[in-house]
């Protein structure tokens, strides 16, 4: 299943859209989408090409049993991010769709129907402010993820490691132990597929500060300093690769294969969102191992002796502002969040505030991990970080600069850690200056 490559930095901030653009949007007044009859034929666009003909057909049957006047059709898109943006230049982009990461908050009202106010929706759903603008919510998470590292417990035990690493240095020590005592590759970057590298960005909550990205990252001239998130996380990635603790030739990695490698213990560790746990367990079982072999650990960084992990919404269901069956579309979105069980089946946290915690995160409970929901950017600043990213052309949510980082670290590119990070800081500071506070 390659479904997750569309997630990119799924856990990223509310503002994932990129360029500066004129604001032409206004919140759609007091317009609610609940009006009208729950009837008609609706088209639901999904990125889950792998289960659209199986699991989604069951959803359709259940939903249509509850709302007999509605007919649900699915349209699954493989390259979701790429194709949906083009279609959104027309009016014909389904009735229910996932908000693509390239849409800026100030564009929401142009494309999507508001679902309700942040206060109102926030009483029932998690993380509503991630896709909100001007106090209006435009999308509901299909599932909620947290961030950490999937690892093969058998390999880590074989290497003689008994406790979770609490600092990047301990993590490196553990990887060295794995390298010496086992045949496994201690860490797998998934460099060639690229998108797994973007997962490194998604765990800013590890810093333990819900306001972190409103005071750091785009608000800092030196995100790659030693004590800031990107300096810590990218620095760890650099050290792992530089010490040869990752796969031999990163340019020929393969995502599908990596799942089997981890499941069979040929690879010990990968940094991925919690959505990956179910897939890795499946891979372990398929390869003749046991789901028990796969563990999930928080990012090796503690604040006041406690691990923190960010929770953030996955893609969000939204209603096409041009839809003719908004009531039916709204019914689907609510049903999907409350009744479908999608989040649970995916091993994710429920988008409902009182929803159950998945058993896949049992390891986090045992480790006493505290979940952190990042505060959204203040009003008027929603797209600031995205603007700096675009101006600096350092793709925090992508893989281009992290691939360069891996190249430098393995000695295939010019420079060293200091020069590479100094260059990133310089470009970032210049971009901040050009965008203006």
Partner 1 sequence: MAVLTGVLARGRTSGSGRGPGHGLPVTPWLFLIVPLGLLVLFTYVPVANMVWYGFTSWDGLDPVKEPVGLDNYVRIFTDPQMFEVFFVSLYYLAGAAVQLVLALYFATVLSFDTRFRNFFKGVLFFPYLINGVAIGLVFLFLLRPGGTLDATLALVGVSEPPQWLGDPSLVNVSLAATSVWRYLGLNFVLFLGAIQSIPGELYEAADLDGATSWQKFRYIIAPAIRPIIGLTTILAISGSLSVFEIPWIMTGGANGSTTFVIQTVQQAFQFNKFGLASAMAVVLLLIVLLVTWIQRRLFPDERVDLT
Q: Toward partner 1, which CB reaches closer, 76 or 85?
A: 85
Question: Using only C-alpha atoms, what is the Rg of the chain?
Answer: 22
Residue 242 beta carbon to partner 1: minimum distance, rounded to whole angstroms = 15
Smallest distance, partner 1 to C-beta of residue 253, A: 9
| Dihedral class, residue 201 (left if φ above 0, else alpha if ψ from -120 to 50, else beta) | alpha
| CB of 91 vs partner 1, minimal distance in Å | 12
DSSP structural state of residue 296: E
**What is the closest distance, in whole angstroms, from the C-beta atom of residue 117 to partner 1 in the complex?**
25
Residue 144 in tokens: 């909620």
Cβ(330)–Cβ(34) below 8 Å: yes
Q: Which is nearer to partner 1, 20 or 303 (CB)?
A: 20
Strand pairing class (267-273; 185-187): parallel
Give the residue with the Cβ less far from partner 1, 194 or 348. 194
Q: What minimum distance in Å lies between the beta carbon of 15 and partner 1? A: 12
User: Using CB under 8 A as the criterion, which residues of the chain lie in contact with partner 1 when the complex forms?
Assistant: 17-22, 24, 81-82, 85-86, 88-89, 102-104, 107, 110, 191-192, 194, 248-252, 389-390, 393, 395, 398-400, 403, 407, 410, 412-413
With contact defined as beta carbons under 8 Å apart, do 361 and 274 qualify? Answer: yes
Shortest separation between residue 254's beta carbon and partner 1, angstroms:
8
Q: Which is nearer to partner 1, 16 or 140 (CB)?
A: 16
> Which is closer to partner 1, CB of 241 or CB of 337?
241
* Closest C-alpha to 409, from 253, 263, 242: 242
Nearest residue (CB) to partner 1, 74 versus 428: 428
Three-state secondary-structure class, residue 255: helix
Bridge partners of residue 308, in order along the sequence: 370
Question: Among residues 222 and 253, whose Cβ is nearest to partner 1?
Answer: 253
Give CA–CA dist 197/234, Å, rounded: 10
Q: How far is the CB of 108 from partner 1 (least distance, A)?
A: 11
Q: How many CA atoms lie within 13 A of 267 on its CB side?
A: 25
Q: Which is nearer to partner 1, 24 or 54 (CB)?
A: 24
Question: Tokens 């993820």 belong to which residue?
Answer: 145
Give the nearest distance from C-beta 151 to partner 1 in angstroms.
24
Of residues 104 and 269, the one with the C-beta less far from partner 1: 104
How many whole angstroms separate alpha carbon 52 and alpha carbon 300?
A: 37
Cβ 21 to partner 1, closest distance in Å? 4
Give the Cα separation of 335 and 148 in Å (integer): 29
CB of 189 vs partner 1, minimal distance in Å: 11
The answer for residues whose C-beta is within 8 angstroms of residue 162's C-beta and 6 or more apart is: none
What is the distance between the alpha carbons of residues 128 and 126, in angstroms, rounded to a whole number?
6
Residue 32 has φ and ψ, to the nearest 5°, of: -110, 150
Give the distance from CA 337 to its chain's centroid: 18
Spatial contact of 133 and 382, defined as CB atoms under 8 Å apart: yes
Task: Specify the 3-state DSSP secondary structure of 347.
Answer: coil
Residue closer to partner 1 (CB basis): 337 or 386: 386
């Amino acid at each position: 299943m390659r479904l997750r490559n569309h997630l990119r930095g799924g856990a990223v901030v509310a503002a994932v859209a990129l360029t500066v653009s004129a604001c032409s949007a206004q919140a759609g007044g007091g317009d609610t989408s609940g009006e009208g009859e729950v009837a008609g034929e609706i088209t639901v666009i999904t990125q889950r090409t792998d289960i659209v003909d199986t699991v989604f057909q069951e959803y359709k049957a259940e939903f249509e049993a509850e709302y007999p006047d509605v007919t649900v059709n699915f349209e699954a898109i493989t390259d979701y991010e790429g194709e949906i943006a083009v279609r959104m230049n027309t009016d014909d982009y389904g009735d229910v769709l996932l908000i693509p990461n390239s849409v800026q908050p100030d564009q929401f009202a142009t494309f999507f129907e508001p679902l309700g106010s942040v206060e109102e929706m926030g009483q029932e759903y998690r993380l509503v402010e991630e896709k909100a603008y001007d106090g209006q919510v435009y999308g509901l998470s299909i599932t909620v993820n947290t961030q950490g590292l999937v690892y093969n417990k058998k390999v880590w035990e074989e290497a003689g490691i008994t406790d979770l690493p609490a600092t990047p240095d301990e993590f490196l020590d553990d990887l060295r132990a794995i390298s010496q005592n086992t045949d496994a590759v201690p860490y797998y970057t998934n460099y060639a597929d690229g998108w797994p590298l973007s997962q490194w960005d998604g765990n800013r909550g590890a810093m333990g500060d819900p306001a972190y990205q409103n005071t750091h990252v785009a608000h800092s001239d030196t995100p790659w300093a030693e004590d800031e998130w990107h300096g810590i996380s990218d620095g760890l990635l650099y050290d792992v690769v530089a010490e040869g603790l990752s796969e031999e030739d990163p340019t020929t990695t393969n995502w599908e294969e990596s799942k089997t490698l981890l499941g069979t213990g040929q690879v010990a560790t990968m940094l991925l969102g919690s959505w990956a746990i179910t897939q890795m367990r499946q891979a372990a079982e398929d390869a003749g191992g046991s789901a028990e072999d796969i563990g999930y650990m928080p990012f090796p960084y503690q604040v006041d002796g406690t691990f923190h992990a960010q929770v953030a919404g996955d893609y969000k269901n939204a209603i096409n502002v041009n839809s003719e069956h908004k009531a039916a579309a709204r019914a689907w979105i609510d049903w999907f969040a409350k009744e479908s069980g999608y989040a649970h089946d995916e091993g994710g946290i429920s988008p409902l505030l009182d929803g159950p915690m998945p058993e896949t995160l049992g390891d986090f409970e045992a480790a006493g991990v505290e979940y952190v929901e990042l505060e959204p950017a203040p009003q008027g600043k929603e797209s600031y970080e995205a603007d700096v990213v675009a101006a600096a052309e350092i793709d925090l949510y992508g893989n281009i600069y992290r691939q360069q980082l891996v190249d430098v670290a393995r000695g295939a590119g010019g420079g060293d850690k200091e020069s590479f990070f100094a260059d990133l800081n310089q470009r970032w500071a210049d971009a901040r200056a050009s965008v203006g506070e």
